[in-house]
Amino acid sequence: MGSPTGDAFFNRVLDNKPNAEHRWKSSCFRLSVECGFWRKIGVKVYTLTPGSEVIGRGCAFCGDTLRTGDRIVQCPVCLTFHHTECWHFGGNKCARLGCTGHGEIAGAKAVPLIQSSVTTASQVIRIRPGDIERTVRAAPRRVAGASAAASGIWGNALGSMVLSAVLSLLLGLIYRFAGAGLNWAMGAQRLQATFLLGDLCNIGQSELKWWALGGAIYGLFHHRFLTGKTRGTYQFARLVISLLYLGSLSYQVGYLMFTPGYRWPTLLWELPSKVLWLAPFVAWGAVIIIMLMTIVNYTSRLTVFEEAAGVVALLIIMTLRAYLRTLDAALTWGGGGWILGTVVDFIWRGHDYSASWSQGGLAIGGSIGFIVGLLAVFQQMES
């Protein structure tokens, strides 16, 4: 059998006159390709002349209509037509899904892809099983909305480093103020005796230049994250930093909430000192809650500084709400205890139940009010 690229074979195809010989040659050629007999095949280029029945059909690769004067190639297997540029651009093979036809254009050189017949959409025609999965897996992942998020100062590497350094200095000052506040409220001896509290306060007193340097490095990584240049590594690093810094900060602020009990224990019938037993539970509870929130927001695009500001604001709101509820509940329970104790004293003389029961009511009501005030903040956040 002659070469499948012979003129007689292609003339029959281009004249659109399929016959038994034509079908037989096409079948034989398809079988020879699938069996691997044809390794290097040359295909011939034809120029469409006026009156050709091929005119008006679509290119199998780009879909554009074939017109007079177009230089075309026909697949030797499935007999579909391609522009020469499309055939070359598609890797010298047929664009039809599942077809094994291929072949280099005889005597052809690299064709510059400047013809209007080659479109961007045409590049997605040939799809094989697994191509989509491999492409998605290999493609660089960009953060959703990265272009919008990186349009501000964080979109510039230098600006991001400078801003991050400044914010890191402010965070370092917050740590210093927290440590100084605890030292003032609790005293150095009690502070150092409290589990981990003294050590955390000492870490917060490190030189501010190291805070600035660490902030600048973090700013560069955050810029790369927003611009889509890094993802998993940054998110893991941000999670670790958030857990360390926010966990330790919430632990210190948890004890700082009870400053009235340390500094003014006799205020309001010794009410602040009566809720002081809650300090370690509130501190460790704050650590656990903040860490869980940080882990849940693992994929967040917020910076560590924004999260730190949110934690500080949350703890301040919790403190105010807790003491308001403490005062309300303590006065209610304490007043109720005093009234009940007074009635018992009136009936059963010789006992001073009014004083002891009022103090007990203050302690119970104050503790319940403090806990309810904290929980009310979280309930409001969920709603």
- Give the pLDDT of residue 64: 85
Q: Please count the other Cβ atoms lying within 10 Å of the Cβ belonging to residue 2.
A: 8
Q: What's the pLDDT tens digit per position in 202-228?
A: 877 778 888 999 999 999 988 888 887
- What is the number of residues in the chain? 383
Residues 373 and 272 both lie in one domain: yes
Q: Is residue 2 part of a domain?
A: no
249-279 in b/e burial notation, b at 16+ Cβ within 10 A? bbbbbbbbbbbbbbeeeeebebbbbbbeebb
Structural domain range at position 169: 146-382
Q: Can you tell me which residue has the tokens 């660089």?
A: 140
- What H or E segment, with its residue span, contains residue 216? helix 208-226
Q: Is residue 1 part of a domain?
A: no
DSSP 3-state of 102: strand
Q: Is residue 80 part of a domain?
A: yes
Report the sign of the C-alpha dihedral through residues 109, 113, 114, 119, in that order. positive
Residues 235 and 126 both lie in one domain: no
Q: What's the pLDDT tens digit per position in 55-75?
A: 888 898 888 888 888 888 888
CB-facing half-sphere around the CA of 179: CA atoms within 13 A: 19
Residues 129 and 153 both lie in one domain: no
Give residue 237's region: left, alpha or beta (phi > 0; psi -120 to 50): alpha
- Give the pLDDT of residue 114: 35
Query: What is the number of structural domains in the chain?
Result: 2
Q: What's the pLDDT tens digit per position in 251-307?
A: 999 999 999 999 999 988 889 999 999 999 999 999 999 899 888 887 777 888 888
Pure H helices in 257-352: 259-263, 267-274, 279-296, 304-347
Residues 343 and 237 both lie in one domain: yes
Q: What Rg, from alpha-carbon coordinates, does the chain have?
A: 39
